[in-house]
């Protein structure tokens, strides 16, 4: 990899393959794997990620919205793509792109049947989402009899999957809650399996579900964050490899006197003579203001340089008083050498939020 000359997000597909194989090793070989590539594959590059995983043998993909699935198809992705949260207006587009809808409410179920029947579809594959306690999307277990009878009345759809989503699978303190979600899912899904004679895939686990609740693996798992190199625990983080490294360079160095301020609103006032470096990325690139005011630091020549003052739209300033560095030197924000999880935690957030926020202005550089 040549030295970065601007802000870039390096995406290492070898690390992706490593993470995929690691997660695969956690489930029986008969269990299918669905890669969650929503939100530009967690802020990386959904087509590059999905193509690599398709070659590596992934069974299924998931995205949040129909447009994201359309984008995968335009990029040549052929494996089934589950749309987790389709909206009524996008159902035609969803079908045109051979995407699989997750039906989560009576409204969207009815709308989808209407669209499918108008198009004279037969046995179009759908998944049903059951709400087992997250209270975000999904049919309540009490609605299942009605869902079964609605599905039986149409030949336009075929139910090929049932799933639910765990709300706290990474949190040992919420074990009881997670076990109750698993039990509710088991009961509700068994009722559905009994109602149909064809094969229906059951899936419940996200990344932390796979790692912490092997008893909840069923027929397929949905993994997102693990593929990108984070496992929601110190032990798992050690086994996974972050695929994305956000790098930049030093644009300018300033030597300021004690009492001078740095940046907007004078949020940093130098207590002593200070050397600062200005970096070409800011909140418009995804480094939010929550990381400013010395909450977090970047890495320059192996040393931590705290972000001082307020993060600007296009720039941040860091304290390099004790670091031997020059204009043009490399800066690591997060990635291989420096966990996005730790960077995020220092400002009170999580890797998911940090990595998915990296905006489209940042150039992606794929390494295979
Ligand atoms: C985002 C999402 C996932 C992936 O979760 P990770 O914790 O990133 O593995 C799985 N299932 C659903 C329904 C999701 O929304």
Section 60-75 average pLDDT: 98
Query: Is residue 4 one of the residues assigned to a domain?
Result: no
Model confidence over 322-359: pLDDT tens digits? 999 999 999 999 999 899 999 999 999 999 999 999 99
Q: Are residues 94 and 224 located together in one domain of the fold? A: yes
Q: Which of 195, 228, 261 is the last residue of a domain?
A: 228
- pTM for the full model? 0.97
Give the Cβ contact number of residue 350 at 10 Å. Answer: 15
Structure tokens at 157: 């759809």
Q: Helices marked H in 64-215 — which ranges?
A: 66-74, 91-96, 106-118, 144-152, 175-195, 207-212
User: Based on the structure, what is the number of domains in the chain?
Assistant: 2
Q: Is 166 in the pocket of ligand 1 (CB under 6 A)?
A: no
Separation between Cα atoms, residue 214 and residue 241, nearest integer Å: 22
The yes-or-no verdict on residue 308 having pLDDT over 70 is yes
> CB–CB of 292/311 below 8 Å?
yes
The binding site for substrate comprises: 136, 313
Q: Is 38 a catalytic residue?
A: yes
Q: What is the structure's pLDDT at 2?
A: 59
Query: Is residue 10 one of the residues assigned to a domain?
Result: no
Structure tokens at 281: 């990325």
Return the best residue to mutate from 33, 204, 206 for the ligand 1 pocket (most ligand atoms within 8 A of CB).
206
Number of C-alpha atoms within 13 angstroms, CB side, residue 328? 1
Q: Are residues 250 and 302 located together in one domain of the fold? A: yes
Q: Are residues 197 and 50 located together in one domain of the fold? A: yes
Model confidence over 223-257: pLDDT tens digits? 999 999 999 999 999 999 999 999 999 999 999 99
Cα(166) to ligand 1 centroid in Å equals 9
> CB–CB of 45/11 below 8 Å?
yes
Q: Are residues 222 and 282 located together in one domain of the fold? A: no
Q: Which of 228, 257, 291 is the last residue of a domain?
A: 228
Q: Are residues 186 and 111 located together in one domain of the fold? A: yes
Model confidence over 291-305: pLDDT tens digits? 999 999 999 999 999
Section 163-181 average pLDDT: 98
Residue 3's pLDDT band, with cuts at 50, 70 and 90, is confident
Q: Are residues 180 and 314 located together in one domain of the fold? A: no
Q: Is 36 in the pocket of ligand 1 (CB under 6 A)?
A: yes
Atom of ligand 1 minimally distant from the CA of 206: 9
> CB–CB of 202/182 below 8 Å?
no
Indicate the pairing of strand 157-163 with strand 8-12. Answer: unpaired
The yes-or-no verdict on residue 290 having pLDDT over 80 is yes
Section 114-122 average pLDDT: 98
Q: Are residues 63 and 206 located together in one domain of the fold? A: yes
The yes-or-no verdict on residue 4 having pLDDT over 80 is no
Query: Is residue 238 one of the residues assigned to a domain?
Result: no
Q: Which of 196, 228, 260 is the last residue of a domain?
A: 228
Query: Is residue 24 one of the residues assigned to a domain?
Result: no
Model confidence over 16-31: pLDDT tens digits? 999 999 999 999 999 9
Atom of ligand 1 minimally distant from the CA of 36: 4
Q: Are residues 67 and 160 located together in one domain of the fold? A: yes
Cα(216) to ligand 1 centroid in Å equals 15
Q: Please tell me the residue having the least CA distance from ligand 1 atom 6.
A: 224
Query: Is residue 99 one of the residues assigned to a domain?
Result: yes
Q: Dihedral through CA 295, CA 296, CA 300, CA 305, nearest 10?
A: 10
Q: What is the structure's pLDDT at 145?
A: 97
Q: Are residues 199 and 268 located together in one domain of the fold? A: no
Q: Please tell me the residue having the least CA distance from ligand 1 atom 13.
A: 165
Structure tokens at 311: 């993060």
Q: Is 289 in the pocket of ligand 1 (CB under 6 A)?
A: no
Q: Are residues 280 and 208 located together in one domain of the fold? A: no
Residues in the chain: 368
Query: Is residue 236 one of the residues assigned to a domain?
Result: no
Q: Are residues 222 and 296 located together in one domain of the fold? A: no
Q: Are residues 215 and 308 located together in one domain of the fold? A: no
Query: What mean pLDDT is reported for the chain?
Result: 97
Give the Cβ contact number of residue 140 at 10 Å. Answer: 12
Query: Is residue 16 one of the residues assigned to a domain?
Result: no
Q: What is the CATH number of the domain that holds 356?
A: 2.40.37.10
Q: What is the structure's pLDDT at 23?
A: 98
Q: Is 207 in the pocket of ligand 1 (CB under 6 A)?
A: yes
Domain that holds residue 351: 244-367
Query: Is residue 171 one of the residues assigned to a domain?
Result: yes
Listed in sequence order, the residues at least 6 apart from 214 whose beta carbon sits closer than 8 Å to its beta carbon are 26
Model confidence over 248-280: pLDDT tens digits? 999 999 999 999 999 999 999 999 999 999 999
Residue 1's pLDDT band, with cuts at 50, 70 and 90, is low
- Locate the DSSP E strands across the chain: 8-12, 32-36, 60-63, 81-83, 100-103, 124-129, 157-163, 201-203, 220-223, 244-249, 252-256, 261-262, 268-269, 274-279, 297-300, 303-308, 316-319, 330-334, 363-367
């Amino acid at each position: 990899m040549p030295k970065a000359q601007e802000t870039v997000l390096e995406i290492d597909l070898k690390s992706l393959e490593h993470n995929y194989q690691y997660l695969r090793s956690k489930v029986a070989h008969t269990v299918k794997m669905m890669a969650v590539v929503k939100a530009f594959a967690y802020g990386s590059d959904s087509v590059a990620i999905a193509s690599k995983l398709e070659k590596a043998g992934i069974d299924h993909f998931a995205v949040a919205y129909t447009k994201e699935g359309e984008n995968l198809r335009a990029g040549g992705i052929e494996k089934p793509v589950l749309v987790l949260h389709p909206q009524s207006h996008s159902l035609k587009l969803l079908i045109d792109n051979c995407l699989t809808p997750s039906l989560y409410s009576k409204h969207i179920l009815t709308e989808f049947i209407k669209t499918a029947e108008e198009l004279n579809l037969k046995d179009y594959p759908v998944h049903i989402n059951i709400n087992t306690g997250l209270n975000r999307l999904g049919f309540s277990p009490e609605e299942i009899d009605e869902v079964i009878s609605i599905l039986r009345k149409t030949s336009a759809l075929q139910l090929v999957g049932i799933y639910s989503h765990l709300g706290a699978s990474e949190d040992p303190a919420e074990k009881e809650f997670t076990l109750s979600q698993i039990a509710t899912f088991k009961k509700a899904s068994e009722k559905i399996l009994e109602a149909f004679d064809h094969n229906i895939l059951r899936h419940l686990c996200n990344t932390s579900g796979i790692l912490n609740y092997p008893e909840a693996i069923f027929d397929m798992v949905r993994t997102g964050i693990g593929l990108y190199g984070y496992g929601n625990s110190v032990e798992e983080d050690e086994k996974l490899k972050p695929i994305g490294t956000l790098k930049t360079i030093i644009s300018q160095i300033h030597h300021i006197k004690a009492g001078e301020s740095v940046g907007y609103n004078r949020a940093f006032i130098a207590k002593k003579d200070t050397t600062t470096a200005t970096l070409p990325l800011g909140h418009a690139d995804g480094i939010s203001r929550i990381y400013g005011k010395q909450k977090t630091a970047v890495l320059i020549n192996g040393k931590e340089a705290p972000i001082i003052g307020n993060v600007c739209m296009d720039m941040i300033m860091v304290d390099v008083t004790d670091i031997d560095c020059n204009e043009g030197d490399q800066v690591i924000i997060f990635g291989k050498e420096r966990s996005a999880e730790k960077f995020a935690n220092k400002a009170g957030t999580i890797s998911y939020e940090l990595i998915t926020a990296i905006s489209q202005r940042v150039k992606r550089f794929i390494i295979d």
